[in-house]
Amino acid sequence: MEAVSLEGRRAWVTGAAGGIGAAICARLAEAGAEVVATDIAMSDALAELASRVPLVFKPFDLLVDVQLEACADDIERSGADILVNNAARFDMGSVLDADLDQYDRVFGLNVRAMYRVMQAAARGLVRRKREGSIINLASQAGRRGEALVAHYCASKAAVISYTQSAALALAPNGIRVNALAPGVVDTPMWDRVDALFARHENLEIGEKKREVAAANPMGRMGNPDDVARVALFLASDLARYVTGQTLNVDGGNVLS
């Protein structure tokens, strides 16, 4: 089997400052891709990575329409052979208390911005007559609803559906579109998730993290590089006949 090489390809990664985003940037850059990372602001993890590998950082807030359009225009104009749609927002609330403001924020980033950025990357590839790989970050939460996570679960289910539709639409152009569905991954975002569960379920801080780790078939939470390795596979020619799929990266939480 050939070594994984992304030499000569430009990869855009949204939500790059988070744990999973920075890990994906690292894997793509180490494989030779020219990485363009975008987020609201640079994180320590991303800054450290930029000191070791070639990486361009561009700040965009994808919940602000003018910045979303600026990001999309940049991607379409400059070209993205690989797009990793990782920017996402988590919030908690059942159908009794998750209001429409929360809906607008969660769907605005997880679905609306995801779709617009995917569209821009696809248009750029078609115009340049280039094949490419688009990877959308879904979640195990998109596989089924959860009582306290109504909007987030629904938003990630929408990511899976858009991935399938885009894969079918773009297959004639040689553009592959897949999704990743991480399970519980130990990142700063999950510290926030843990705190929200502590408040809603009257738990101690850290208790939810311990609970989900113990319940996992592999006996642990994932780490960002577990997800980044699968993103690298989907970005590469090793996955040249894989499209329209949502790959679970969850230690066996969801069997499909």
Which of the residues 115, 152, 162, 241 is marked catalytic? 152
Whether 46 contacts 57, CB under 8 Å: yes
Q: CA 100, CA 97: separation in Å to the nearest integer?
A: 10
Q: CA 57, CA 44: separation in Å to the nearest integer?
A: 13
- In sequence order, the 6+-apart residues with CB closer than 8 A to the CB of 76 are 120, 121, 123, 124, 127
3-state secondary structure of 147: coil
Q: CA 170, CA 76: separation in Å to the nearest integer?
A: 15
Q: Which of 217, 197, 219, 218 is nearest to 206 (CA)?
A: 197
What letter does residue 109 receive in the DSSP assignment? I
Q: CA 76, CA 71: separation in Å to the nearest integer?
A: 9
Catalytic-residue membership of 115: no
Active site residues: 152
